[in-house]
Amino acid sequence: MSRQSLTKAHAKISELTWEPTFATPATRFGTDYTFEKAPKKDPLKQIMRSYFPMEEEKDNRVYGAMDGAIRGNMFRQVQQRWLEWQKLFLSIIPFPEISAARAMPMAIDAVPNPEIHNGLAVQMIDEVRHSTIQMNLKKLYMNNYIDPAGFDMTEKAFANNYAGTIGRQFGEGFITGDAITAANIYLTVVAETAFTNTLFVAMPDEAAANGDYLLPTVFHSVQSDESRHISNGYSILLMALADERNRPLLERDLRYAWWNNHCVVDAAIGTFIEYGTKDRRKDRESYAEMWQRWIYDDYYRSYLIPLEKYGLTIPHDLVEEAWNRITNKGYVHEVARFFATGWPVNYWRIDTMTDTDFEWFEHKYPGWYSKYGKWWEEYNRLAYPGINKPIAFEDVGYQYPHRCWTCMVPALIREDMVVEKVDNQWRTYCSETCYWTDAVAFRGEYEGKDTPNMGRLTGFREWETLHHGKDLADIVTNLGYVRDDGQTLVGQPHLDLDPKKMWKLDDVRGNTFQSPNVLLNQMTESERNAHIAAYRAGATVPA
């Protein structure tokens, strides 16, 4: 289509909307934002006549690559260390994708300007594409990769696992609570605009270095739809900015959304990239270096900071603190160690680390060995069954952590843990901002104004509570993380597939699992104070 006829086509499609006079669309999902003064924006409309063939063409390339990968025996060169983590990642990500589709009518309902409705509805279809294309990729892995266990129970595992839940908030955050908080600020302005670069570009690029070129094929194809989504979100953001009354809400939501995305996405993707790779070239970018490029430069400096000219207060402090957590406080390394500690209740296997890995970590993160090296040596030492218990139940100088009530990643930077009684319960938080999110942001009132549409934190947020006081073998059985011999665990603390070296239920039986939060709430005040002080000081056993 020529530019002129494209312009005419856009104008014609705009004629399809009208001002209703008999009844207005039901407001299923409310917002405390107001758009009365929103300027008319006219983002480019997607013409379905070019949209469908364009996406079909992208699909053809993806499915062609899939056929090619199988004909070319890609799995002969795939690193198991890498693909195991895909059991976790690909169990999570189709839900946030489909949630993004479900979020679109929330944005359509909340923003009265019909100019942007078309783009949002097209995004809805994109997101159905993303979710199902990713489910299909996972199926291909299940069918063609040496160890299908974990892929085979993917959506169930996602729904009953502690790590699945961490990822689930990413999707639930898109579809619950204030429509603009969820479907615009959290989903588009932060998750899509900032973090899809690490999720869908940086991480899949690492897959290629580990012999898997399908992940990048699929996710680059997904990412190519993202610029349209980002501009949808930006249009709504500018409309919201037009009304002074939205200012405090925007600032609240940017703080919450930024921090929660950091906590969740950097935990997961950072771990996959740093601990899931076999590529230890010294000049390959570390997660911290990727983060600096994609998040700090491309997002923070080029997208967020320019919003200041509209008078918006940007959470500079939280961007700096996220960076600080990644570079100085060992955030990713702590998360990886936590995942590995919990291996019996994982549905993927986690490889041991070698001297090459140690060297690389020390090179990229000076001081790494003194903080984490010993623990990974213990992990190697305790990798096989028969002699010892799973590492979480051996004394290796590591105290099983408290979980953050808000982001559900544990309070791993121990000196930063916040403990408060909220809603009549002692809760732990990984950071001041996560405490604020629960105690201040997700409430029916904010800075003296009613915010009836704001969401609430709900559910059994501490996963360990559900399994408190039970035997580890029974927990694994109940979760269903047992292989088809009825004995061998899906999760393993090494990659050896020799059945004699794989842990069985009997090898983990006799260990009682305890919830740190249940115990915390049972303590007397002085016990609790002592416990918290010791935890913050880095105690290796619970005080």
Decide: is 176 part of the binding site for other proteins (CB under 8 A).
yes
Sole window of 122-130, 344-352, 417-425, 491-499 interacting with Fe ion (rule: CB under 5 A): 122-130
207 binds Zn ion (CB under 5 A): no
- Shortest Å distance, C-beta 11 to other proteins: 9
Place of tokens 């309902």: 109
| Span from 10-18, 192-200, 303-311, 478-486 in contact with Fe ion (CB under 5 A) | 192-200
Least Å from the CB of residue 127 to Fe ion: 5
How many CB atoms are located within 10 Å of the residue 282 CB? 8
Please report whether residue 147 would count as binding other proteins according to CB under 8 A. yes
Whether 326 and 332 have beta carbons less than 8 Å apart is answered as: yes
Nearest-CA neighbor of 182 among 8, 28, 30, 404?
30
Cβ atoms within 10 Å of 262's Cβ, excluding its own: 26
Sites for Zn ion among residues 262-301 (CB under 5 A): 263
Among 434, 473, 479, 490, interactor with Zn ion by CB under 5 A: 434
Does position 418 interact with Zn ion (CB under 5 A)? The reply is no
Select 250 or 408, whichever has its Cβ closest to other proteins.
408
Note whether 373 binds other proteins by CB under 8 A: no
Q: Report CA dihedral (291, 294, 295, 299) to the nearest 10 degrees.
A: 170
Does 355 interact with other proteins (rule: CB under 8 A)? no
- Residue from 97, 147, 266, 321 in contact with Fe ion (CB under 5 A): 97
**Which stretch in 7-15, 107-115, 184-192, 400-408 sits in contact with Zn ion by CB under 5 A?**
400-408
178 contacts other proteins (rule: CB under 8 A):
yes
Which two structure tokens, joined as six digits, stand for 321? Answer: 């603190």
**Contact status: 469 vs other proteins (CB under 8 A):** no
Burial 436-471 (b: 16+ CB within 10 A, else e): bbbbebbeeebeeeebebbbebeeebbbbeebeebb
Binding-site size for Fe ion (CB under 5 A) equals 5
Using rule CB under 5 A, residue 228 touches Fe ion:
no
229 near Fe ion, rule: CB under 5 A: yes
Contact residue for other proteins among 39, 68, 72, 499 (CB under 8 A): 499
x/- map, 84-103, Zn ion, by CB under 5 A: --------------------
How far, in Å, CA of 358 to CA of 445, rounded? Answer: 49
| C-alpha to C-alpha distances, 163 to 13, 169, 338, 412, 492, nearest whole angstrom | 44, 10, 11, 15, 16
Helix (H, G, I), strand (E, B) or coil at 35: coil
CB closer to Zn ion, 33 vs 338: 338
Query: Can you spell out the DSSP letters for 346-395?
Result: -SS------HHHHHHHHHHSTTHIIIIIHHHHHHHHT-STTTS--GGGS-
- Applying the rule CB under 8 A, the residues between 107 and 146 that interact with other proteins are 108-109, 114, 117-118, 120-122, 124-125, 128-129, 131-133, 135-136, 139, 142-146
Instruction: Supply the angle between the helices 331-341 and 267-275 in degrees, to the nearest 10.
Output: 80
Interface stretch with Zn ion, choices 41-49, 187-195, 257-265, 288-296 (CB under 5 A) = 257-265
User: How many of the other CB atoms lie within 10 Å of CB of 146?
Assistant: 11
Residue 36 CB coordination number (10 Å): 8
Contacting positions for Fe ion (CB under 5 A): 97, 127, 130, 192, 229
